[in-house]
């Protein structure tokens, strides 16, 4: 729709900024913003010519996420500040060709938007100009795998078993396709979300959109564990990419599963509503006992610092365990190295309690794992049996997705599953 | 509830950062984050002692907004990234004493939270630890002024006249009290909003909460005009604090109005829904004609750069005006210097069109003015009569508030109105 010389100037400026260490330079980049400012406020009269970039400092708004090999971005990517999780159901008569066309379109949108370019036929390309580490991560639900992917190429995605404490609401339930859209800038995110929803409309209906947030970019230093709306440090025990276990625990490898899914992973989505009003009645000592960690530092009650190993055998002077065996930390702690996965959760809040049955706030628990049945389900089952935290949380939404490997050059996400590698459809 | 030595350490660290130029140093501060990281991840064993701050760089999360003399913060403050606008209706039997108690409590909350401290009886003080330029700005609606403020101290707040194109919905209508909560960090904001709502509960019911956003802190350089969800540069013509007209056009001075309101201002809130689906059908040439500005630079169609003066007399080679007299820029342009005010708008989006009649996205138009009837209403009336933009927008919420001066030392916002200066209640 637009294109042309104006965009060329902007692209040049961005490339200039990248050459100075901007794009992808990570969290330590200083937040000087001359780069994007020039792009935004430069007079139209300079069109086509670029003044010598005497001062071009990288802007966090200009940062892009580099390709992750054969993995989709948004998994290993340090979590951005904002999330829009879009769930679609394919139209009733959708065929594999329909889904392929949809994924080709959305993959192209994701690639362009992630580079700070408007999508094809973008109606507001200026709103894409600050990518701010935008990533889009696509996944397929069980119905897509069953109906549209041949058995020979089908990854083994088991739906989650029923958990007795779940109070699932259909409006937050399993969808056919998901896009995890993450971005440090809320305006860039809103635009990307709208473009993807528009482009999917011919093929699918939006089932839900779940918005989430963490701290703003730059509020915390890299690696600081986020806090949830209960005030707890949330996600201390997480897989780090540097660990040797990371790859086998996160990425499908094509030996135990189909080659077409190698480099993919699985996503578990749980919408966990917090009963904050009732949590308010619990004092700090009580809260720390429920969780098994100190509220201020996140340290286990037997330790001094957040990442100290909890000592579940330690007792107090009365002989009682310092960490209650029914506490959250005791119940969800992995009992084998396999019971670990990559957490990438976001807070959510729908604060307007005048139009619903009350404030709906909590955690959008997002977990990536090579095998959720082996890595996630046992943990969730222990929590379902006993966990003192259950008195204040309830899961109201649940879904699982197969997250295909990255699109091949010139291809689209999911192509190897839908068309086969080198096979004819 | 918490308090104690842990917090002292944190405060020390923050003070240390401020001494290095952090707090309030403005947009040019680089986003190194050692300050807040130390506060967050320091081991509990160090409690009470502070290591020599060899490297304490200011974090944007540690920034606080300095007092603005006798004005409340959040008016002149460069707009933060996120907004929660909370409207309350006082309980039916509320007296001036009730409102005074509520405002004393909320003013204290606002002061503490703005400094990165938990509110009194804060249940999650850790969520307050990164103030991120948090400001809370309070206002009183017409019913409060009429029923609870004596005539001698009552600022002249006229309700807005009816505009023929408004399609007002009661759920977004006038409330008795408003808090404009703004913050660069969405998690800090969510916590502050919840604390204020909890503390007001004994006195008032939430009528609505309107959430909004602009670009993330650091995406744009200071002074760059924001874009709205239609992709337009929005708010080019705005009052700058440096202009000599700023004070008389924004602040009540105590001569034309009551002395108790000197340093106050008025806030106009308009929830302007954008019909983005229909806007999508308009091409760029059409959009630029509707608005009268170029989409890329925001320049008037007769100019080269955003801040060029539009030339409404200029004609094209066919003799037609370059800027359509019915375009948005032509209609809302101030016709006298008095028809200007301080815009401080936010984008909003309620994207989940599965649970409402469709996506509700648009602009939370916020304007501060010393006299809305003289400064804002004529502009809005011209727009109501003719404005090509009206085909794609509709105002669904509207309210006005008197924004009292800042709380006196040890006092609360609104005290001079409710109790009188030096008068007995």
Chain B: give the shortest CA distance to residue A135, in Å.
16
Interface test with B, best of A25, A79, A200, A218 (most B CBs within 10 A): A218
B356 interfacial to chain A (CB closer than 8 Å)? no
Q: Does residue A26 or residue A355 have the better pLDDT?
A: A355
CA distance A224 to A297: 11
Q: What is the pLDDT of residue B32?
A: 33
Each residue's pLDDT, cut to its tens digit, for chain B (425 residues) gives 333 333 333 333 333 333 333 333 333 333 333 333 333 333 333 333 344 444 444 688 999 999 999 999 999 999 999 999 999 999 999 999 999 999 999 999 999 999 999 999 898 999 999 999 999 999 999 999 999 999 999 999 989 999 999 999 998 999 999 999 999 999 999 999 999 999 999 999 999 999 999 999 999 987 899 999 999 999 898 998 899 999 999 999 988 899 999 999 999 999 999 999 899 999 999 999 999 999 999 999 999 999 999 999 999 999 999 999 999 999 999 999 999 999 999 999 987 644 444 578 999 999 999 999 999 999 999 999 999 999 999 999 999 999 999 999 999 999 999 998 644 43
* Structure confidence at residue A396 as a pLDDT band (50, 70, 90): very high
Question: Could you say which of B27, B126, B197 has the minimum Cβ distance to residue A231?
Answer: B126
Residue A7 has pLDDT above 50, yes or no: no
Q: Among residues B396, B403, B399, B404, which one has the least CA distance to residue B376? A: B399
Average pLDDT, chain A: 86
What is the rounded CA–CA span in Å between residue A363 and residue A273? Answer: 7
Closest CB from B60, B190, B280 relative to A123: B280
Tokens found for residue A69: 């090999």
B-chain CB neighbours of A228 within 8 Å are none
**Is B186 within 8 Å of A132 when comparing Cβ atoms?**
no
Gap between the Cα atoms of B302 and B314, Å rounded: 7
Lowest mean pLDDT among A35-44, A306-315, B222-231: A35-44
Token digits of residue B2:
């918490």
Distance from CA of A296 to the nearest CA of B (A): 7
Show the CA angle centred on residue A141, arms to residues A332 and A180, nearest 5°: 70
Which residues make Cβ contacts (< 8 Å) with residue A375, sequence separation at least 6? A249, A338, A339, A340, A341, A369
Which pair of tokens denotes residue A402? 């197969």
pLDDT of residue B227: 95
Q: Residue B393 and residue A242: Cα distance in Å, rounded?
A: 50
Taking an 8 Å cut-off on Cβ atoms, the answer to whether A43 and B126 are in contact is: no
b/e string for B321-337 if b means 16 or more Cβ within 10 A? bbbbebbbbbbbbeeee
Per-residue pLDDT band for A352 (boundaries 50, 70, 90) equals low
Q: Is B191 on the interface with A (CB under 8 A)?
A: yes
Q: Does A361 touch chain B (CB under 8 A)?
A: yes
H helices of A20-50, in order, are 34-41
Of these residues, A234, A324, A371, A384, which one is catalytic?
Answer: A234
Of B32, B229, B306, the CB nearest to A30: B32
pLDDT of residue B398: 98
Calpha distance B209→A411 (Å, rounded): 44
Say what the pTM is: 0.87
Q: Is A396 on the interface with B (CB under 8 A)?
A: no
Distance from CA of B405 to the nearest CA of A (A): 28
Gap between the Cα atoms of A397 and A386, Å rounded: 20
Question: What's the pLDDT at A358?
Answer: 57
Which of B279, B277, B272 has its CA nearest to residue B169?
Answer: B272
Cβ pair A219:B283 closer than 8 A: no
CB contact under 8 A, B351 and A33: no
Q: Out of A190, A209, A227, name the one closest to residue B126 (CB).
A: A227
Q: Is A305 within 8 Å of B45 when comparing Cβ atoms?
A: yes
- Nearest CB among A185, A187, A209 relative to B352 is that of A209
Q: Measured between CB atoms, which of A127, A280, A296 is closest to B231?
A: A127
pLDDT of residue A38: 37
Asked if A40 has any chain B CB less than 8 Å from its own CB, the reply is yes
Q: Which two tokens stand for residue B87?
A: 């409207």
Per-window interface: A 115-154 vs B, CB < 8 A: 123-127, 130, 132
Alpha helices in A150-292 (DSSP H): 186-200, 246-250, 276-279, 284-291
CA nearest B280 in A: which residue?
A123
Touching B: A residues 148-177, CB under 8 Å: 171
ipTM: 0.86
Q: Write out the DSSP string of B248-296.
A: HHHS--SSSS-GGGTT-EEEEEEEEEE-HHHHTTS-HHHHHHHHSB-TT
**Interface contact flag, A304 B191, Cβ < 8 Å:** no
Min Cα distance B350 → chain A (Å) is 10
- pLDDT at position A41 is 38
Dist. CA A299–CA B396, nearest whole Å:
48
Residue of A nearest to B220 (CA): A37
Which residues in B lie closer than 8 A to residue A221 (C-beta atoms)? 33-34, 36-37, 40-41, 59
List of chain A residues whose C-beta atoms are within 8 Å of the C-beta of residue B42 = 297
Report the pLDDT value the prediction gives residue A359, as an integer from 0 to 100: 74
Q: Out of B6, B44, B299, name the one closest to residue A305 (CB).
A: B44
Question: Chain B 50-79, CB below 8 Å of chain A: which residues?
Answer: 59-61
**Does A382 lie at the interface with B, CB-CB under 8 angstroms?**
no
Interatomic CA distance for residues A62 and B186, integer angstroms: 21
Taking CB atoms and an 8 Å cutoff, what residues of chain A touch B182?
Answer: none
- Decide if B245 contacts B340 (C-beta within 8 A): yes
Cβ within 8 Å, pair A216-B1? no
Find, among B80, B391, B414, B15, the residue nearest to B226 by Cα.
B80
pLDDT at A295 over 60: yes
pLDDT of the residue at B420? 87
- The catalytic residues of B are 234
**DSSP state letters, B292-325:** SB-TTT--BTT-SSTTSPP-TT-B-TTS-BSS-T
The yes-or-no verdict on residue A337 having pLDDT over 80 is yes
Residue A58: the pLDDT is 62
A218 touches chain B (CB under 8 A): yes
Q: How do residues A189-241 score in pLDDT, each as one tens digit? A: 999 999 999 999 999 999 999 999 999 999 988 789 999 999 999 989 899 88
The CA-CA-CA angle for residues B227, B229, B235, to 5°, reads 35
Stretch A61-73: mean pLDDT, rounded? 95
Short-list B229, B169, B244, CA closest to B362: B229
Contact B205, B87 (CB under 8 A): no
Q: Enumerate the residues of chain B whose CB falls inside 8 A of the CB of residue A213.
A: 186-187, 190
Please tell me if residue B228 touches chain A, with a CB cutoff of 8 Å: no
Q: How many residue pairs from chains A and B have C-beta atoms closer than 8 A? A: 264
The encoded tokens of residue B169 equal 């919905």
Q: Is A199 a catalytic residue?
A: no
Closest-CA residue of A relative to B131 is A219
Closest CB from A32, A132, A353 relative to B30: A32
Q: What is the pLDDT of residue B120?
A: 92
In the beta sheet, which residues pair with residue A181?
A: A84, A136
Q: Where are the alpha helices (DSSP H) in A115-241?
A: 142-148, 186-200
């Amino acid at each position: 729709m637009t294109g042309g010389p104006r965009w060329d100037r902007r692209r040049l400026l961005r490339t200039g900024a990248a050459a100075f260490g901007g794009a992808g330079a990570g969290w330590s980049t200083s937040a000087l913003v001359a780069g994007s400012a020039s792009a935004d406020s430069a007079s139209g009269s300079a069109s086509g010519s670029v003044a010598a970039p005497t001062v071009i400092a990288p802007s966090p708004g200009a940062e892009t996420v580099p390709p992750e090999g054969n993995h989709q971005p948004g998994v290993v990517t340090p979590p951005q500040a904002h999330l829009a999780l879009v769930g679609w159901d394919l139209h009733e008569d959708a065929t594999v060709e329909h889904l392929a066309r949809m994924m080709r379109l959305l993959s192209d949108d994701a690639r362009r938007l992630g580079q700070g370019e408007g999508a094809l036929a973008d109606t507001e390309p200026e709103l894409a100009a600050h990518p701010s580490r935008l990533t889009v991560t696509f996944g397929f639900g069980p119905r897509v795998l069953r109906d549209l992917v041949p058995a020979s190429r089908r990854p083994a995605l088991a739906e989650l078993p029923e958990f007795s404490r779940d109070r699932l609401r259909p409006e937050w339930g399993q969808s056919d396709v998901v896009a995890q859209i993450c971005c440090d800038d809320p305006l860039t995110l809103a635009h990307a979300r709208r473009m993807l929803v528009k482009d999917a409309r011919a093929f699918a209906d939006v089932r839900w959109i779940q918005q989430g947030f963490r701290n703003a970019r730059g509020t915390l230093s890299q690696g600081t564990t986020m806090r949830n709306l209960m005030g707890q440090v949330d996600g201390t025990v997480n897989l780090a990419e540097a660990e040797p276990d990371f790859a086998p625990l996160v990425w499908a490898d094509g030996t135990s599963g189909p080659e077409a899914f190698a480099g993919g992973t699985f996503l578990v989505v749980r919408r966990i509503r917090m009963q904050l009003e009732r949590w308010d009645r619990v004092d700090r000592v009580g809260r720390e006992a429920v969780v098994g960690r100190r509220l201020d530092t996140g340290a286990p009650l037997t330790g001094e610092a957040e990442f100290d190993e909890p000592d579940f055998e330690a007792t107090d002077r009365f002989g009682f365990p310092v960490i209650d065996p029914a506490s959250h930390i005791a119940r969800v702690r992995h009992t084998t190295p396999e019971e670990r996965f990559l957490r990438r959760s976001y807070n959510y809040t729908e604060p307007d309690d005048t139009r619903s049955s009350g404030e709906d706030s909590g955690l959008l628990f997002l977990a990536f794992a090579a095998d959720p049945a082996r890595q996630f389900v046992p943990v969730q089952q222990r929590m379902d049996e006993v966990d003192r935290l259950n008195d204040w949380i309830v899961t109201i939404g649940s879904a699982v997705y197969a997250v295909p490997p990255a699109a091949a050059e010139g291809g689209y996400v999911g192509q190897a599953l839908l068309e086969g590698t080198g096979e004819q459809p």
